[in-house]
Amino acid sequence: MLIRSASDIPSSEITPEALYLRRRQFMQAGAAVAAGALLPGVSEASARLAAAMNSRYSTTEPQTPYKDVTTYNNYYEFGTDKSDPAENAQGLKTRPWTVSIEGEIKHPKVWDIDALIKAFPLEERIYRLRCVEGWSMVIPWTGFPLASLIRQAEPTGNAKYVEFTTLLDPAQMPGQRRAVLDWPYVEGLRLDEAMHPLTLLAVGLYGQTLPNQNGAPIRLVVPWKYGFKSAKAIVRIRFTDRQPATAWGRAAPSEYGFYSNVNPAVDHPRWSQAKERRIGDFFKRDTLLFNGYGDQIAQLYRGMDLRKYY
C-alpha cells in the first residue's frame, strides 16, 4: 500500500490516540501502525502493535517522542543546526520522484517512488539510531529490507559494494549552496552489509509518511552504524566493484571511516564515543558495541581489526 500523509486519512481510519500512546502496555511499540492506510480498528491495531513488539528486529526500549524525532536532525542539505532541517525542508517536492538502480546488476531499472513502495511488503521496525556526535534515539520506522530490492536487481559477480546518492538540487536544498560537503551526498555499504535483514529502506516513521526533514521520500537505515551512514532522499543506488568514496570520508577521512560501526572503544578525534545521551534523558548511558545489534551482525566483521577499519 502507498504511504499517505496524515491529512489524507479519514479520522475513522486512524488508530485512537489513547491506544497509540499507551506505550507501557505495549512495551513501547506504539508506533507499529500499518503502512499506507492507518489501522481501521482497535483490535487490528492491537494485533499490529503486538507483532512489532515481538519482532526479532525491533527493540522494546522507550521510543523517542515524535516531536524530537522530527525537529532534532542532522541533514546538512538543509542546514547545519539541528533545527534547520525541520525549518528548511518543507518545500522539498517528493513527487514526482525516481530512484535509479544501476551498475553491476542484471536488471537495472528506474523506479517511480510510488511503484517502488508498492512493489515490496512494508514492515514496522523499532530501531535505535546512534549519532556520531553522541546522541541517540529510538525510532519506529516503516520500510522494507534493502535485500528485497537487491534480490530483484540481481547483482553480478563483480558487485562488491552498494553506493547511495542523495538528490542534488540546491534550489530545494539550501544547504547545498554552501561547500560544507562535496555534494551530492554519497554513502556506501559492503554488499553483505546491504543484504543483511536489518538494513532497511524506510519510507515512513511513527506510522506516517516519512517527513522531509527525516529523509523523504526514501532513506537508508542501518541501525548498527552511526547515523550519517543512512543516506536520505535517495535518487540512485549503484552496485560497484570498488568501495564508494563517501561524502564524509572525502571531507574528513581521519574522522569518518567507511565502516563507521558504532564502537565505544574507538573515539572520534574530537570526543569520546564511550557514552551517549538518549534524547529525552538527563543522564548519559554506556554506548553499546554495534549499537546493541552485535548478536545479529558481528559475524560480518569476524577477523577484522575494528580500530583500523573504523
Residue at 291 is within a domain:
no
Q: CATH number of the domain that 64 lies in?
A: 3.90.420.10
Contact 176, 224 (CB under 8 A): no
Residue 112 lies in a domain: yes
pLDDT for res 51: 54
Least confident range from 16-25, 78-87, 169-178, 271-280: namely 16-25
User: Which tens digit of pLDDT belongs to each residue from 220-261?
Assistant: 999 999 999 999 999 999 999 999 999 999 999 999 999 999
Q: Does residue 126 sit within a domain?
A: yes
Q: Is the pTM of this model over 0.75?
A: yes
CA distance readout (Å), 53 to 14, 49, 58, 158, 286: 20, 6, 7, 39, 24
45 falls in which pLDDT band (50, 70, 90)?
very low
Q: Does residue 290 sit within a domain?
A: no
User: Quick check: 180 pLDDT over 70?
Assistant: yes
pLDDT 10s digits, 218-230: 999 999 999 999 9
Is 199 domain-assigned?
yes
Domain membership of residue 179 as a residue range:
6-258
Q: How many domains does one find in the chain?
A: 1
**Residue pLDDT, tens place only, 204-217:** 999 999 999 999 99
* Structural domain contains residue 178: yes
Q: Please indicate, yes or no, if residue 269 is contained in any of the structural domains.
A: no
